[in-house]
Amino acid sequence: MSDRHHLLPYPHGQPHGQPAPFAPTTTAVLQGAAVGATLGAAAATAAQLSAASADGRLALGEIVQASVVSGLTTAAATLAGQSLGRSTTLTRYAAMFVTSAALMYLLNPSKQGESS
């Protein structure tokens, strides 16, 4: 695998020896949010494609909403997991699961009577 492909624009700090713009924890949370948003949008798009109406339109609002909710949830779960530091892996994943489930529940509009 080539080391020319990195998720971060400056994997070893910024050019000219300047420090990276964010702390490692912040970078991990932002990367988690980006991955979560991408996966949420992909899942919502796939669901929309399988249930597309006769005119073939996608509900872009639902796709954007799924992306935002998934991004926020993944960022919060990442932060929860990192906040436990040297805890066992099981403890970190349990905290991430609880955080994700709680946020998904709170941010889900269908629990407020809206159609999904």
pLDDT given for residue 86 in this prediction: 83
- pLDDT tens across 69-103, in order? 999 999 999 999 988 888 898 999 999 999 999 99
Q: What is the dihedral of CA 24, 28, 31, 33, to 10 degrees?
A: -130
Predicted local distance difference test score (pLDDT) of residue 116: 46
- Decide if pLDDT at 7 tops 60: no
- CA–CA separation, 88 and 98 (whole Å): 16
Mean pLDDT rounded to a whole number for the chain: 80
pLDDT category of residue 32 using cuts at 50, 70 and 90: very high
